[in-house]
Every structure is written in C-alpha cells, then in structure tokens.
Amino acid sequence: MISIGGSVEINNQNTATSASQLPPPPFAVTGISLRDNQVVTNEDLKPIADSSSVETLRLNNIANISGECLANFSNSLNLRVVDCNGSGKVGDGLHYLAACERIDDLQLWGVALSLRDVIPVAHRKYKRINLGSTKVTDDWFPYFDEVDDLEVLVLRYANVSDDGLAHFRNCNSLRNLSVGGTKLTDAGLKHFQNCLQLEGTIISETSVSDASIEILSNFKNLKRMEIENTKITPAGVEKLRQALPQCDITWDGGTIKPSKP
C-alpha cells in the first residue's frame, strides 16, 4: 500500500507512509488508507487479500476501483470501519463483506447503491452510517435493524422522508445528524427530540420551520447547526441564538458565532 501512495496503521497506533517508518517485525497492519489516490486499482489491493488484522479501511474518493476490490477483504473479520465516501463504483461489491459482522462504521457518500447492495451489510450494530447523496429511500431503513447505539447519521441529499426517519427515533445517542436536502419537516424532526447529546446537525434545505424552535433549543450540547434555506424566520433564528449561545449557527443571514463564555 505504501508503494502506491497509501498509508498503513500499525498495531492501532502509529501511521506509516514510507517503508522506513515500519517497525521491525512482527507487527500487525490494522488500518489501510488510500484516500484520494487516483492511481490505485482493484489489482493493487490483492497483496493484502483477507488480512485478518485490518480493522480500518479507507478507500474514499478513488475513481479507478469497483466493487470487486472489496473481495480482497471478504475474510477480514476484524473490519470495523469501511470508508468508501466518494468512490462511486464500489457499491455492488458490498456483498463481499457479508461475513464482516464487526463493521460499525459505514461511509458510502455518493456511492451508486441499490437496496440489494446494502442488505448484506445492513444487519450490524452501527455507530456511524453515511448514506448521503445516494439513492437510499425510506424502505431501506428496516434492514438496518440494530441502530439504537448510532452516534452519527448522515442522509444529506437523500430521497428520504419523515416516515423513513421514524426508524431512528430511538437513537438517543446521536451526536451528529445530517439530514439537509431531504424531505424532512417539523413532524420528522420530532423523531429526534430525545437526542439530547447532539453536537452537530444539518437540516438546511428542508421544510423545517419555527414550529421546531423549541425542539432545537433543547439540544443544549449543540456546537454547530446549519439551517439555511429552511422556513425558519429571522425571529426564530434569534430565539435559537439566545437558547444556544455556544452554538455556531449558519442561516440565510450568515453565520452566528458562539458568544464568549
């Protein structure tokens, strides 16, 4: 991986980007990153096929790989993080990861996907899911049947509605919720009213209005909120500023920076 411009994580600690940084053996490669690598191909991944020690796999923003590249990890049973954000052609290879039951972080922003593609990896105890800018629809969510411990949910620019988002109504451990550019309304935001650990949320480009100010104001841990192109009025924004003085609020009028403590 290093020879083609990637990096490896050693023993869940140090990252090596050159051979000179590798420790003397024995050591375990626990992470692989080829992020933004525009020369790597499916063939380049064969030397690490079925590595049992790999826990983190970052193959994001790579144009030349397809779903077949994931066949190299079909027996990497310790795999926890699969980050393929921006690598649009990998979706039809997710079935190769069907036996990797420890995956709890799935990043597929902008990947061409069908329901058939995701079903083999849906039944997992996920902590992070990113299906933003994909063709996900409401009927996919029931297959993700162990999401109560979810901490990060990204569905931005996806064709999902209040009905589908109800599937996540018990995800009270959420810290980051990104549902901008969806069919979210005030009714849908109520599904998340008990997510009091939220630190960041994006609900821009939705139909959320001043009717949701009370819910948003109760998220006292919020540090970042994006609400531009919604139905929230300047008066509603002012209420949010007063209720959440430590929150960075981006709205149609600009960005309100947190007040000094």
- Comparison of pLDDT for 15 and 136, the residue scoring more: 136
**Domain ranges across the chain:** 1-124, 126-261
CA-nearest of 30, 33, 71, 34 to 52 is: 30
Q: pLDDT averaged over the chain?
A: 95
Sequence-ordered strand ranges (E) for 89-196: 105-107, 128-130, 152-154, 176-178
Q: Does pLDDT of 16 surpass 90? A: no
Task: Reply yes or no on whether the pLDDT at 161 is more than 80.
Answer: yes
Q: Residue 194 has what pLDDT?
A: 98
The answer to whether the 1-124 and 126-261 domains have the same CATH topology is yes
Is the bond preceding residue 24 a cis peptide, omega within 30 degrees?
Answer: no
What is the pLDDT, as a whole number, of residue 36?
A: 92
- If one looks up domain 1-124 in CATH, what number appears? 3.80.10.10
3-state secondary structure string across 3-41: HHCCEEEECCCEEECCHHHCCCCCCCEEEEECCCCCCCC
The pLDDT assigned to 32 comes to 93
181's tokens: 């550019």
pTM score, two decimals? 0.95
Query: What local confidence, expressed as pLDDT, does residue 69 receive?
Result: 96
Round to whole Å and give the CA distance between 129 and 3: 31
| 18-62: pLDDT as tens digits | 888 888 888 888 999 999 998 899 999 888 877 889 999 999 999
Least confident of 10-19, 99-108, 208-217, 218-227: 10-19
Q: So what's the pLDDT on residue 8?
A: 84
CA–CA distance, 239 with 166 (Å, rounded to integer)? 27
Most distant CA pair in the chain, distance: 63
Can you tell me the distance from the alpha carbon of 28 to that of 23, in angstroms, rounded to the nearest whole number?
10
Which listed CATH number (3.80.10.10, 3.40.50.300, 1.20.1560.10, 3.40.50.261) goes with 126-261?
Answer: 3.80.10.10
Is 79's pLDDT higher than 90? yes
Confidence at residue 55, expressed as pLDDT on a 0 to 100 scale: 96
Tokens of 10: 């050693």
In percent, how much of the chain has pLDDT > 70? 100
Cα(153)–Cα(191) distance, rounded to whole angstroms? 13
